[in-house]
A and B are shown apart, each in its own frame.
Chain A
């Protein structure tokens, strides 16, 4: 099935560094969601975005809904060891559409 392109696929960073990742699509979405998944756990919703250009924060996390509606970005500031995990995006097209398209995931590893 269709998947959204996420980059980078994985990254090692030092504790305290800022992290950026993005998600791109060939089609337009009306909703972008960002999740974090720890090993053996279910995905946890971090941020939901509903408007082009919208910038939303959740603690040290900030996400943006791209102006073209075809991309979204997630930033993590001052990373800590518990930020380790897989981050993935999801797009939802429009009202009346029930399906979501998921990103390929970014695996984050934080070095203490």
Chain B
């Protein structure tokens, strides 16, 4: 049982390049989330999903897109990276059923955009 995994762990992009971050969970959780964490800002919600095939915008969605084609995977895409997207990205998942709201985080992806 690996919990929540993220790939890659580190990435450096040039402005304008695109990339996809992959999140996978093996806990059969319904809800999945993408956050970014910046110094002094705490965790900010980018997008989330409440089930396979559904996605919704969070607090800071601009410049990002997501997809949840399979229940266990949640992809975060950057179509045209900007230096302001330099951050640490965390994926998280929550069961959401039977009133269980523990949220589990992945190890993070550190992205630098030059």
Contacts and interface: CB of A to CB of B under 8 A. Distances in A.
A41 B99 CA distance: 28
Contact of B103 (A3, A33, A104): A33
Which of B31, B43, B90 has the most chain A CB atoms closer than 10 A to its own CB? B43
Contact of A44 (B48, B96, B99, B105): B105
Contacts, number: 52
A35 B104 CA distance: 10
A90 interface: yes
Contacts of A90: 103
A2 to B, nearest CB: 9
B43 A102 contact: yes
A81 to B, nearest CB: 22
A99 B105 contact: no
B90 A102 contact: no
Interface string B92-114: 00101001011111111010000
B42 A99 contact: no
B108 A42 contact: yes
Contact of A41 (B4, B56, B102, B108): B108
B58 A99 contact: yes
A45 B103 contact: yes
B71 to A, nearest CB: 16
Interface of B: 4, 31, 42-45, 48, 50, 56, 58-59, 90, 94, 96, 99, 101-108, 110
